[in-house]
Amino acid sequence: MRSSRLRWGLAVGLGLMGALACTTGGPSNPTSANSESRDAMTAAKASLDLFSGREALSWALSDEESRALRDAVLALPRGSRPIPDVGLGYRGFEVAWEGGAHARVFHDVIEYTESGRTVLLEDSARQLEQRLLAGARPHLTPELFTAVEAQVRSTTP
Amino acid sequence: MVTVELDIFSGRPNPKWTLSEREVRQLAERIRADPSLLLPLDAETGGLGYRGFILNAEDTGSADDWKRLGLPSQVRLGGRFQPGAAESSSFLLHTAESARLDLKDPGPVLGVAERTIVETLSVPGLAPSYCTPAALSSDTDFSFWNGAAYQRYNNCYNFASNYRTNTFAQPGRAAGSMYTSIDCGSVGGAAERDGWQLTCRDDINYNVCLVIWPNYDYHWYRWCANNHWCHKPGQTAARNYDNSNNLITNPEAADRGGYTVFCGYYRGFGVVVS
């Protein structure tokens, strides 16, 4: 259990370090990014960036959902707005694929990092966030889910 | 079932509404954290205008948080002379926004109440509590916390303790006994086991305070240089401003999002957390 957590932490950490170590000028077309590594990215974990003190809630995604989410991310058009600095409360979902790719999803903004390069994407229908919210339901108490759902639905951070 | 009556009119019946189960739970948590919020029905809470809230709990037979805490069936909260209840008063007032009130235009009435509640904050007595001599770190340079190698792995408790462990430190874990529930008593008690104390140290003090998002999470602030309070919301960057982007000079009055319960101030120095 502990070694699994460590591996997970390392994967997330490396992904994030890559994200923070570069600017947001990524590949000209995110869908072209490293398709050769896609097969290696069937396993993924999602987490909810919500708490300040407690550890973030996270859960494993099925291989199918992991692939579908990544395909959905890669199909999104480029955006220009960064994820806002919210502070306390709901700050979005994160998905980390085993191969190192990493996505932060907040409302209609997606920050996707792969191979050390980060691109900003736009999901105007907020489908990715809705999908992650639906996937979070079994992992949250009904009351917490309701609280998160209300914050997700908020149009302002 | 708990109904709230905004005590504000002289001739007309006061506006009333019913709290949701969740709102009752949040209110009960506030009262549990600070029972002094409640006043007897005949307490002096103001003259004409806003006089606080009257809470009526009707026993519907089901077990609710109100009943579990043994709270009275009719009681007062807030008013002109209870600045310590300002936050809970604001909370109650906001529950009216989603309720159907028997008022043609509730906005101005609720606005008067809100302004009066804010005014009570200027009453001496609701100011941050500091111990001196105080240990102060920069209120603007957070490079110790916001680097890529550690920002994600240190939380509000790390920041409050000024101790970067890269373990997302939890109150009580270093002492071998973590909190068991998310409320002021349990989280604050766990912090005390780590070495935080309610009284001032003679030599030097980090001044920190604890707030709670009832049942879900806790958060800490630390007093920094230039009379600003700083904090680090979870994995995000450390900062000196609140959710409304205002510099924090009083954590009790800052915009804290859902962390609505203010528990109190703690002091320590060199507290080891993990």
Q: Using the predicted structure, report yes or no on whether residue B81 has a pLDDT greater than 80.
A: no
ipTM of the complex: 0.75
Cα first-last separation, chain A: 35
Q: Does A117 touch chain B (CB under 8 A)?
A: no
Residue/partner pairs of B83-87 with CB below 8 Å, 24 or more apart = B83/B120, B83/B121, B83/B123, B83/B125, B83/B126, B84/B34, B84/B36, B84/B37, B84/B125, B84/B126, B85/B37, B85/B52, B86/B117, B86/B118, B86/B120, B86/B121, B86/B126, B86/B253, B87/B30, B87/B252, B87/B260, B87/B261, B87/B262
In this predicted structure, what is the pLDDT of residue A124? Answer: 95
* Helices marked H in chain A: 2-21, 63-74, 127-136, 142-153
- Asked if A84 is an interface residue toward chain B (Cβ–Cβ < 8 A), one would say no
pLDDT at B266 over 70: yes
Q: What local confidence, expressed as pLDDT, does residue A155 receive?
A: 61
The pLDDT value recorded for residue A157 is 54
- Nearest Cα of chain A lies from the Cα of B222 at a distance, in angstroms, of 14
Task: Tell whether A51 is within 8 A of chain B (Cβ).
Answer: yes
Answer yes or no: are the C-beta atoms of A99 and A40 closer than 8 Å: yes
pTM: 0.66
| pLDDT tens per residue, range B21-68 | 888 888 888 888 888 888 888 887 878 888 999 999 988 777 677 878
Task: State which of A76-90, B43-57, B79-93, B113-127 shows the largest mean pLDDT.
Answer: A76-90
| Stretch (H or E) spanning B267 | strand B261-268
Per-residue pLDDT, A44? 96
pLDDT band at B120 (very low <50, low <70, confident <90, very high): low
Question: By mean pLDDT, which of A23-27, A118-122, A135-139, B18-22 is the weakest?
Answer: A23-27
What is the least distance, in Å, from the CA of B138 to any CA of chain A?
Answer: 19
What per-residue confidence (pLDDT) applies to A135? 96
Query: In 3D, which of B206, B200, B246 has the Cα closest to residue B222?
Result: B206
Find residue B207's DSSP bridge partners.
Answer: B267
Q: How far apart are CA B206 and CA B201, in angstroms?
A: 9
Q: In what order do the strands lie in the sheet with B74-77?
A: B16-18, B2-6, B53-57, B74-77, B38-39
pLDDT digits (tens, 9 = 90+) for B162-195: 999 999 999 999 999 999 999 999 999 999 999 9
Distance, in Å, from the CA atom of B8 to the CA atom of B109, rounded to the nearest integer, reads 8
CA angle A141, A142, A145 (to 5 degrees): 85
What pLDDT, on a 0 to 100 scale, did the predictor assign at position B127? 63
In A, minimum Cα distance to B232 occurs at A52
- The string of pLDDT tens digits covering residues B194-252 is 999 999 999 999 999 999 998 899 999 999 999 899 999 999 999 999 999 999 999 98
- CB distance B217–A16 less than 8 Å? no
| pLDDT value, residue B121 | 61
- Does B191 or B125 have the greater pLDDT score? B191
Supply the mean pLDDT for chain A.
Answer: 80
Closest residue in B to A140 (Cα) is: B216
Q: Is the pLDDT of residue B15 over 70?
A: yes
CB pairs under 8 A between A and B: 76
Q: Using CB atoms, which residue from B156, B237, B242 is nearest to A52?
A: B156
Averaged pLDDT, B72-80: 87
What integer pLDDT is reported at residue A20 of this predicted model? 32
Confidence class of residue A73 from pLDDT cuts 50, 70 and 90? very high
Q: What is the pLDDT of residues A11-65, one digit of tens each?
A: 333 333 333 333 333 333 444 444 445 555 579 999 999 999 999 999 999 999 9
Higher pLDDT, B154 or B94: B154
Residue A111 has pLDDT above 90, yes or no: yes
Q: Count Cβ neighbours within 10 Å for each residue of A16-43 and write b for 16 or more, e otherwise.
A: bbbbeeeeeebeeebeebbeeebeebbb
Residues in B closer than 8 angstroms to A85, CB to CB, are 236-237
